[in-house]
Amino acid sequence: MRIGLTGRIASGKSTVARILERLGANVIVSDAVVHELLSDPEVQRRVAEILGEDRLPDKAKIADRLFSDPQLRRRYCDYLYPRVLEVMRSREEPDKPNVWEVPLLYEAGWDKEMDAVIVVTAPEEVRLGRALRRGMNEEDFRRRDALFSGDAEKRADFVLDNSGDLVRLERQVREVWERLLKGGKSGYGRKDGC
């Protein structure tokens, strides 16, 4: 089974991923895969070329360039996403449910690869507070947040509310996990606000 895990910036995807891992999922994090790929000299050369640089700039400069230029971001994604997809598939374990933590799952079109999709939500002011505590500035938060699909919650099989109560979030994750293991899905939390 392949489960997509996504949500807006600072919504709590990583927290949900850790809970799912404790429950027995094989969690594969796309951001970690990107980081690994960017350590390969050939990938570095190609990404630097896409960015119009002589060599690969630091992570902050890459992000700044990509989040401010949609055409550049498209070229970068067209090059890197197929490689990320290949690595993520290779890290799946056939005897476990595989959870792919992908911030822009719908935007990449990878939702079609999933048996189910979980979207983690939290109010904007909560997410902004979390992002600021991590050292991100508000402008960067807003640019990144604007990339997320506005209809992800409607398209998801499960929606988890991470407004701040970790006990409640863990309960929701356990309930979703049990439903997934039984082969069920479809809309947990959409109507009751769980």
Domains in the chain: boundaries: 2-181
CA-closest candidate to residue 158, choices 193, 189, 127, 114: 189
The token pair at 146 is 């604007």
Residue 174: HSE in the Cβ half-sphere, 13 Å Cα cutoff: 7
The Cα–Cα gap between 105 and 116 comes to 12
The token pair at 92 is 């799946």
Pairing of strands 98-101, 2-7: parallel
Number of Cβ atoms within 10 Å of the Cβ of 120: 28
Tens of pLDDT along the chain (194 residues)?
Answer: 999 999 999 999 999 999 999 999 999 999 999 999 999 999 999 999 999 998 888 888 888 888 888 999 999 999 999 999 999 999 999 999 999 999 999 999 999 999 999 999 999 999 999 999 999 999 989 988 988 878 888 899 999 999 978 999 999 999 999 999 998 665 444 333 33
Q: Which amino acid is at 88?
A: M
CATH level 3 topology of 2-181 = Rossmann fold (3.40.50)
Percent of residues in the chain assigned helix, strand, coil, to nearest 5: 55, 15, 30
